[in-house]
């Protein structure tokens, strides 16, 4: 399958979805320490004590997302039903909206939930190309999905810098990132309506 051929299928919505979700992830990844410094007035020692917790939660989320999806399939559920995995991951992400209104202890908990949800989401989204595309195209599609995620992170990093430089504050930024995974999941639902090998889907559309 050629590169141009890959874009004949609406499943390229995976690239858009990863771009949206990784925009939020790159913000969490790189701006969390700065937020703790600037808004919560942490010093370097406090950041060292507490900032590692959400990153550890991200690792747990990666494992839980893969386990949950696999468990559904092992119990006889279809690959399409297993989309409940990324759906649940996306469902917890709006909680990050309340970070700026919460005591610092609760804020760390909310960050941890968001980090875990993001990495659960990312694990499951990155495996979808293997469930949909022919084996010889999986690497290309996964590369495009990863590229979309990286570009989303780059662009949104610039947006965050602009918003903060112009006085909008972290409340606006957290309001935006709280919606990105939900929108990304809606994009997946629209572009990958049924998770099945693409040859089967094409035959069904033709037939």
Q: Where do the domains of the chain lie?
A: 3-206
Nearest 5°: the CA angle 65, 70, 74 is: 155
CB 129 within 8 A of CB 143: no
> What's the average model confidence in pLDDT over 85-89?
91
Closest C-alpha to 187, from 130, 142, 128, 143? 128
Give the pLDDT confidence of 9-52 residue by residue, as tens digits: 656 788 899 999 999 999 999 999 889 998 998 888 888 888 89
Rounded CA-CA distance 58/43 in Å is: 23
Say whether pLDDT at 206 is over 50.
no
3-206: CATH topology is Growth Hormone; Chain: A; (1.20.1250)
Rounded CA-CA distance 25/48 in Å is: 20
């Amino acid at each position: 399958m050629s590169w141009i051929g890959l874009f004949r299928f609406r499943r390229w919505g995976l690239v858009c979805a990863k771009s949206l979700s990784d925009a939020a992830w790159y913000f969490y990844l790189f701006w969390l320490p700065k937020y703790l410094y600037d808004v919560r007035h942490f010093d370097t020692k406090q950041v060292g004590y507490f900032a590692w917790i959400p990153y550890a939660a991200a690792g747990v989320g990666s494992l839980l997302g893969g386990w949950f999806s696999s468990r559904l399939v092992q119990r006889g559920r279809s690959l399409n039903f297993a989309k409940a995995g990324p759906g649940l991951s996306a469902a917890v992400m709006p909680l990050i909206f309340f970070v700026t209104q919460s005591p610092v202890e609760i804020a760390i908990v909310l960050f941890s939930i968001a980090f875990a949800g993001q990495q659960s989401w990312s694990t499951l989204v990155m495996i979808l190309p293997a469930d949909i595309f022919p084996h010889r195209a999986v690497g290309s599609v996964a590369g495009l999905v990863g590229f979309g995620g990286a570009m989303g992170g780059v662009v949104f990093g610039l947006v965050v810098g602009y918003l903060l430089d112009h006085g909008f504050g972290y409340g606006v930024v957290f309001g935006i990132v709280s919606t990105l995974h939900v929108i990304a999941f809606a994009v997946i639902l629209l572009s990958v309506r049924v998770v099945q090998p693409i040859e089967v889907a094409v035959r069904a559309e033709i037939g």
